[in-house]
Chain A
């Protein structure tokens, strides 16, 4: 039986996830695609949204969900995590985010995602239906994959295996005072305290190597396209082709202002599309980011300031700054402990709202913007006909911690809200 299910999954992928048809009725629907629909209905069929509006007729086979007095939103998207790649940070065997070496464009996060990860049910219970899960290496880390937070296999879960190429922007490191310091490998950055001149030389070398790598990818593509006689397939360079063709964006992690400027210059030079990632100092470069129309996947809002003399709310206000500058952005919990708390994504956004980000823009950043930045705007991020039925039914604003999720649909499937944290809660609350 199970074999059969798997086999069917493999053949028709996501659509099979839900044979059931649902009709949600009487809800206040926040479509994110236009005005809210009061007392509206959403029809879900074959994993997709089959209709949105007032007074939709209930098909015979539809299971009715009475949502009077409840709110309906698109499922939220964590635009950068390590979900599925890390189970326990401190246990090496359960950590699968990075590979040796500095040039690994051929790695695909999806291949390593663990569908049985305990983090998945824990995360989705707060209304997060989709995440971008990313390899985290030293330079070119690999391919970021977009996944649904439900499925028996990675094929069930995968929305886009190669959503972007993740690059950690090289940087000049003279001190240990960094928020993100990648593990050092020989040639992978000067020793802290080595002095600016040394660090700069090291950086220049890294940049020139990186540019050379892009150049060799161009030559590879040329050789492949012209069927050159000595052409030899190479997975690494093959993986670069969509990037240099401009079909696939580069997700560039850049922390400090200088790194962000370097990233923009790099994108111009290599004529590639980039998405800035983490970018806590993006507010310093807002004008240039806007001028280049570069989207930003903003790292954790609930974070400490980078510098000692920064105001305490520096990280809280960055989202509002980007919003005011008209920059497209999404929220991400990214790596480390924040990533394993991906479930807190809505509260990260809520903190930004408390510090100046308009509420509607925060919701948009969590849903529609994230989908658009990740290139799945036509499939996710809003409640519109034809899109994935990734939908949450709540008793209030999802940015409020007291709000409860009543129903959660991923790919049109009504997903079990039970999870490890709830199990443990139930276990210990009953302890005599």
Chain B
């Protein structure tokens, strides 16, 4: 059923690419990447391998693959092919207001001025847009999409992030003329942010927020039961009141909970256990201190690639306390410790800067003990697994979506050049001379992200 739409999709990709300003994308039916080092991620590296891409999918991969006659053959001698990189928690492509930086545990947690009348309790459903879907908020022309693609990212798991129940995340591929073409999976989880609602509105404290989350899940459970009872015997029963904020929660297959520090990790694990949530934690810079609890509960972690650091414009006379220095120093070693313990984790951008900075930030985790293979996995197959799309994304395997990155060496090398990016089988070539980051227009990260740095 789905396959029937593929030609349209590819056609769209061609149109997009040909109108793009500084990208050159051509899309015949088939490509062959020949004689490349293929990092398939789901198995051992193929040193001299060939990847065949057709109609947006991977048709074949291996060391002795027959080359179809109609395909455009690209000689990849000396090049390395990776699965397209995935940003596991992103705002790329979200239009305007929906793309503000997440308000999680960084001292900016308090909400802005609440709109509307102050809420009195959970019954007013404050700060709840669980029904929002990122897929519906995607702007295909958002500049972040092209920048991310040029840096080797082909996919992002985009989440709204404005409210305690922010809404549902969607897996999107980072190319397309219309948002609908880009969506791989429209609802992969609910993003929860622990924020308060100001002084005059419920919830105004952390304990209030957590009590509110518990109440919502209790209400959702009751709502589900009431609805099913009513559907079977509508006559003679009072109808349950429709509640979109509960619908959104029920619809979400998993929930993302913020947990940066150890205490937050343990608090969120307790909450997830109590509510029997299918939880994914995000933040993770001090997750290494709670690695046993994470392993025991089999909870995956999204690790932010925005490593904690001293603000650039800080008073030189102010010395940071040891506690803060240790947190900063140990954060990049968190992924390595998670990997050794067998805790599933993925990296996410967290407004860490221009997309091309993300690989450099991931390199810091490698320098702090994370095996490079695990680093690649944390940006490809692991996020696909965490969000339940590993049957389509995350590795170079037959039948998966043809999202690929072709680089002139190891992705984590300092001077690596990205030669080609394939998104849904459409080829993009980042211009050889990428504009320096920070220049007006292209290369500039959104100002909100800059401020967060």
Contact = CB atoms under 8 A, between A and B. Distances in A.
Contact of B313 (A197, A258, A307, A308): A197
Contacts of A198: 313
A379 interface: no
Interface stretch (B74-82, B270-278, B317-325, B383-391): B317-325
A196 B313 CA distance: 5
Interface in A240-281: 256-258
A195 B450 CA distance: 14
A106 interface: no
A172 B313 contact: no
Nearest to A177: B318
Interface in B284-321: 311, 313-319, 321
A174 B314 contact: yes
Residues of A in contact with B, size category: 10 to 19
A198 B317 CA distance: 15
A258 B311 contact: no
Interface string B319-333: 101110000000000
Contact of B322 (A174, A197, A199, A309): A309
B311 A308 contact: no
B322 A308 contact: yes
Contacts of B311: 195
A172 B315 CA distance: 8
Nearest to A200: B315
Nearest to B107: A193
A308 B321 CA distance: 6
Contacts of B321: 307-309
Contacts of B323: 308
Residues of B in contact with A, size category: 10 to 19
A179 to B, nearest CB: 13
Given A308-B323, A309-B322, A256 B313 contact: no
A318 to B, nearest CB: 18
A307 B319 contact: yes
A175 interface: yes
Contacts of B317: 172, 256-258
A174 B319 contact: no
Interface string A2-24: 00000000000000000000000
The secondary structure that dominates the A interface is loop
B322 A196 contact: no
Interface string A333-377: 000000000000000000000000000000000000000000000
A147 B311 CA distance: 48
B374 to A, nearest CB: 35
B364 to A, nearest CB: 25
B234 to A, nearest CB: 57
A196 B319 contact: no
Contacts of A172: 315, 317
Contacts of A177: 318
A195 B313 contact: yes
Interface in A276-320: 307-309
Contacts of A197: 313
B272 to A, nearest CB: 32
Contacts of A174: 313-315, 318
Contacts of A258: 317
Nearest to A195: B313
Contacts of B322: 308-309
Nearest to B313: A195
A257 B317 CA distance: 9
Contacts of B315: 172, 174-175, 196, 199
Contacts of A196: 313-316
Nearest to B316: A196
Interface string B56-84: 00000000000000000000000000000
Nearest to B317: A258
A314 to B, nearest CB: 14
16 contacts: A172-B317, A174-B314, A174-B315, A174-B318, A175-B315, A175-B318, A177-B318, A196-B315, A196-B316, A197-B313, A198-B313, A199-B315, A256-B317, A257-B317, A307-B319, A309-B319
Q: Which 10 A-B pairs have the closest CB atoms?
A: A308-B321, A195-B313, A174-B315, A196-B315, A196-B313, A309-B321, A309-B322, A258-B317, A197-B313, A196-B314
Interface of A: 172, 174-175, 177, 195-199, 256-258, 307-309
Given A172-B315, A174-B315, A175-B318, 15 more contacts: A172-B317, A174-B313, A174-B318, A175-B315, A195-B313, A195-B314, A196-B316, A197-B313, A257-B317, A258-B317, A307-B319, A308-B321, A308-B322, A309-B321, A309-B322
